[in-house]
Structure 1
């Protein structure tokens, strides 16, 4: 009987330990994404993202630029290629193909008109999609397509 009680006690303690461990995992800080582009165009990128899209500079030095959206909810970074402080994985420059960013806005029509007035080249004109989204696209100095979208109601 004592042996059975000990086994039940140990099983309960183990279950409590694993339950506590899973609770700890659920309270971790949420994951956050920062897209990065390896490019020689740090100054052009900074000018584009600040002047055209209203981003702010979070951090900057001679080889790295970290920028944030106006509401500080997302970031993008730019890194000079082949910088000796970086590992080889981050040396090759982005060649301008196969990447896009999506920026969600509340009023895509006013953003479209604002960028047209600034003389920004519109790569895809303002349009409605069959699923309800409304969007247009521009391109950054690195060749990254930027889809500016107002999503249909997701309720």
Structure 2
């Protein structure tokens, strides 16, 4: 098997709102969009994020009413404190403060308008090797 790209698709109530959030605050651009669907990308991220409206007929019946809960979109960044300050200045609510884990991960979280958790991460904690 050869994997040529990576992406995640999340079902939400309002794909337009989630798309706008990642565009405005995280520098993504819409790659493809249609009624009930938006696919976003960043050239430097190595992954695509898609949002699909709950109930969309193209989804399998057993998935149509699911909501992207329990999923964390995690993005590794170079300047965690700088990103935290930037998002706070932009009025984004920080839903998990900056924390440091014993395995070297440092992270904070925000939520998009549909409740999707976005976590910014670095591996610069005291035990990172």
- Greater fraction of residues in helix: 1
| Residue correspondence of structure 1 range 2-151 to structure 2 within 5 A | 28-30=1-3, 32-94=5-67, 97-151=69-123
Q: Which protein has the larger Cα radius of gyration, Structure 1 or Structure 2?
A: 1
User: What is the CA distance between 1:37 and its match in structure 2?
Assistant: 1.2
Give the TM-score normalised by the residue count of structure 1: 0.71
Structure-2 separation of matches of 1:128 and 1:81: 35
TM superposition outliers: structure 1 runs of 4+ over 4 Å: none
Q: Is the contact between residue 63 and residue 83 of structure 1 (CA under 8 Å) also seen in structure 2?
A: yes
| Unmatched 5+ stretches in structure 1 | 1-27
Residue-by-residue CA offset, 1:34-93 (whole Å, 9 max, x unaligned)? 211112211111110100111111111112111113515111111122223333134114
Q: Which has the larger strand fraction?
A: 2
Q: How far apart in 1 are the matches of 2:45 and 2:99?
A: 28
- Aligned in 2, Cα 1:97/1:87: closer, same or farther, shift over 3 Å? closer
The whole-number CA distance in structure 2 between the counterparts of 1:43 and 1:107 is 28
1:117-145 per-position Cα deviation (integer Å, ceiling 9, x unaligned): 00100011123222222221111222122
Q: Which runs of 5+ in 2 are unaligned?
A: none
Higher relative contact order (CA 8 A, sep 6+): 2
Please give the TM-score of this superposition, normalised by the length of structure 2.
0.84
Q: Equivalent residue for 1:12?
A: none
Q: Aligned partners of 1:122, 1:75: CA distance in 2, in Å?
A: 23
Q: For 2:57 and 2:11, locate their aligned partners in 1 and report how far apart those are by CA, in whole Å.
A: 13
